[in-house]
Amino acid sequence: MTPALQKLHERKATLATEVRSLSDAAAPTEEQAATVDAKATELRSVLDQIERTEKVEEVLAQAETRSTASVTNAGLVVAPKRTVTATALKPLPIMGEQRGFEIETAEAVGKSLVDLAHGRIREIRAVTASTHPIGVNDTLEPDSMGEKSTLYDGRGSELVAHEMYRGILNVINYESVAAKLATWLQVGTNGMYVPLGEDIQEADWYEENCEILPIKPNTKRATLDLKKMGARAQVSNELMEDAYVSVAQVVTRTIGNAFAKKLDKTLIQGDAKIGFAGIVPSIPSGQTVTTAAAGKVTIDEIASVIGKVDPMAGNRVWLVSDEGWTKVMGLAAGAIGVNVTQGVTQTIFGSPVIKTSLLPAKTYAVYGDFSMAAAIGYKRGLTIRSSWERAIEYDQTVFVGTARYAFAVMASKYLAALKSA
């Protein structure tokens, strides 16, 4: 097979996968449908090119055989010996999901981690210019030497392949409640002030030549004071030698899950180590509804929680404990005969439900607009360092991930809580 024909076959496989993936969408948009049509048209064109190219190669092969054949003294035509060309083996497909990575990048990231552990590079550091810490459009910023390379930062340390940074953030984005609810702000220095969102005022209608009254924004501020968060993962050296993909997955999921759990717990419950009280403890008693009977929830109590949230709250959701969701489901079953074995959309009075195990004891649910109530600040950059001597007695390699975050409650009036008696 010629290189040109091999490329056509590879393109055919790629297009077939893309068309199949896009065609599986339950309710494709017009843009997706147009993309499917375009890909299918290109696939038909590639198939035609393959057919034409194979015919040409067949004819050329016959011509080559006839031109190189020899005639013996006896008048016999002898064909030349066939030359067998070895075909390079392609990697076998990887079974199972590689969460946080595209499959083709997981091995490259794993190799970077192994190089880090073996001392071939000094550290892995990802620096982004994203407006959101868990966005999908992160780009590498130039370093002090003006380089955008993912290999060298001009100061003797190595930058990770961008997929490593994105992989950990993908895990946080998938696992973390805080990633979905809070407002994220990029902090340029050690800390910053953010305005409190307690006084959203309306504009008004005016007649001609009438004075337009001023809107005076609240000048009180909440402080985002950055603190360092860290997690350490230890990987057996046997795994380091045997499977690059597994190394990437173990390190990424360990650090990503650890960060996600700590972000959620700190946002919801608070943490004395960084002086943050948490959004649930900050909800005033006047915005808390306590059930009349222990272990039971009524429709009136749920309605009362909704009524205690400021009317200006926009993107409202329910943050519900496992026990609280059980009570709500029991209420629904008793009220309208819902069978709990059937598929149930997780909403309460039309607002989506996010379940968590981190709500404080006896707190069934918190309702409101969390993005208006709380903010999380972050510093650009996620650093991964390694040592193969730190756990030498266990024959393990140690990876340490660090990042800097800050928390602030901006306005508790956009939240209300439902608690058990």
Give the residue extent of every domain in the chain: 1-53, 102-196+217-421
pLDDT of 165 reads 66
Q: How many angstroms separate the CA atoms of 350 and 110, rounded?
A: 44
CATH annotation of 102-196+217-421: 3.90.1690
Of 171, 234, 229, 273, the closest CA to residue 395 belongs to 234
Flag whether the pTM goes above 0.75.
Answer: no
- Tell me the angle at which helices 244-269 and 103-117 cross, rounded to the nearest 10 degrees: 90
Task: Go through the chain and tell me how many residues it has.
Answer: 421
Tokens coding 50? 């393959």
Buried b (16+ CB within 10 A) or exposed e, 313-344: beebbbbbbebbbebbeebeeeeeeeeeeeee
Point out the least confidently predicted range of 53-67, 243-257, 262-276.
Answer: 53-67
Is pLDDT of 208 > 50? yes
Lookup: tokens for 297: 């929830």
What is the mean predicted confidence (pLDDT) over 334-344?
A: 51
Express each pLDDT in 130-180 by its tens digit. 333 443 344 444 433 343 433 333 332 333 445 666 777 778 888 889 988
Q: What is the DSSP letter of 27?
A: S
Q: What is the mean pLDDT of residues 207-226?
A: 80
Q: Measure the CA angle with vertex 219, ends 215 and 220; round to 5°.
A: 135
Q: What is the strand order of the sheet 351-355 is part of?
A: 288-290, 415-419, 363-368, 317-320, 351-355, 347-348
Which residues make Cβ contacts (< 8 Å) with residue 203, sequence separation at least 6? 215
Q: What DSSP letter does each residue of 163-232 carry, written as one string? A: HHHHHHHHHHHHH-SHHHHSEEEE-SSSEEEEE--S---------TTPPPPPP-----EEEEE-EEEEEE
Place of tokens 């010996």: 81
| Model pLDDT, residue 417 | 95
User: Computed from CA positions of residues 333, 337, 341, 344, in that sequence, does the dihedral angle turn out positive or negative?
Assistant: negative
